[in-house]
C-alpha cells in the first residue's frame, strides 16, 4: 500500500517552516482586531515564530498594508432586488528584516459569491460569515506558504 501511494506521486505536506530571520517577528497592522490579522498571528505562532510587541526588538517585520473585506451586489431581479452577492477579502503585505526585504509587497484578493433570498435573511447572513471565514483561512494559508518558500 505504501509503495502504491508513493508511486502515484502522493507526498505528505511538510510542516511550514519560516526563515531564521523571523525568530522574533513584529506584525504591523492598522487593524489588530481583523479576522485576517488574528488568524495570521496564530498561524505564525504555530509555525514557531515568536511574536513581539515592539519593532525595536524584532528581527523581522511583517507589515499588513491593506486588510479589507466587503460585499458587492452581483445581480438583481426584475423588481430590482439583489439576488446574488459577492464577498471579497483583500490584503496587501510585505516582509522585511531590517533594511533587507524578504518578501516584496504582495497583494491578494479572494472572492466568493452566494445567492440571496430575502425570505432567508438570517441563514444568508450566516452563509456570508462562513464564506468570509473560509476566505480568511485561504489567505492565511497562501501567506504562510509564501513565507515558508523563502
With respect to residue 7, please indicate whether it lies within any of the assigned structural domains: no
Query: Which grid cell is 95?
Result: 516582509
With respect to residue 2, please indicate whether it lies within any of the assigned structural domains: no
Query: Which grid cell is 73?
Result: 451586489
With respect to residue 8, please indicate whether it lies within any of the assigned structural domains: no
144 contacts 14 by C-beta, under 8 angstroms? no
With respect to residue 11, please indicate whether it lies within any of the assigned structural domains: no
Among 20, 91, 15, 11, residue whose Cα is nearest residue 46: 15
With respect to residue 9, please indicate whether it lies within any of the assigned structural domains: no
Higher per-residue pLDDT: 118 or 115: 115
Residue 10 has pLDDT above 70, yes or no: no
User: CA-to-CA distance for 91 and 123, rounded, in angstroms?
Assistant: 27
Residue 3's pLDDT band (cuts 50, 70, 90):
low
Q: pLDDT > 70: what percent of the chain?
A: 90
Global pTM? 0.86
Q: How many domains does the chain have?
A: 1
Give per-residue pLDDT as tens, 74-83. Answer: 999 999 989 9
Domain that holds residue 74: 16-148
CATH of the domain at 55: 3.30.160.150
DSSP string for 52-101 = -S-TTT-SEEEEEEEEEEEEEEEEE-TTS-EEEEEEEEEEEEEEEETTEE
**In this predicted structure, what is the pLDDT of residue 45?**
95
With respect to residue 42, please indicate whether it lies within any of the assigned structural domains: yes
Question: What pairs with residue 110 in β-bridges?
Answer: 89
Amino acid at each position: 500500500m505504501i509503495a502504491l501511494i508513493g508511486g502515484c506521486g502522493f507526498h505528505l505536506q511538510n510542516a511550514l517552516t519560516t526563515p531564521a530571520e523571523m525568530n522574533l517577528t513584529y506584525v504591523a497592522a492598522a487593524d489588530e482586531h481583523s479576522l485576517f490579522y488574528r488568524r495570521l498571528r496564530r498561524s505564525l505562532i504555530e509555525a514557531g515564530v515568536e511574536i513581539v510587541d515592539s519593532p525595536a526588538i524584532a528581527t523581522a517585520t511583517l507589515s499588513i498594508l491593506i486588510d479589507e473585506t466587503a460585499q458587492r451586489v452581483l445581480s438583481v431581479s426584475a423588481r430590482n432586488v439583489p439576488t446574488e452577492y459577492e464577498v471579497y477579502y483583500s490584503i496587501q503585505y510585505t516582509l522585511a528584516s531590517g533594511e533587507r526585504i524578504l518578501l516584496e509587497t504582495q497583494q491578494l484578493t479572494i472572492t466568493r459569491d452566494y445567492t440571496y433570498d430575502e425570505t432567508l435573511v438570517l441563514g444568508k447572513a450566516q452563509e456570508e460569515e462562513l464564506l468570509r471565514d473560509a476566505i480568511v483561512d485561504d489567505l492565511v494559508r497562501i501567506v504562510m506558504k509564501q513565507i515558508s518558500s523563502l
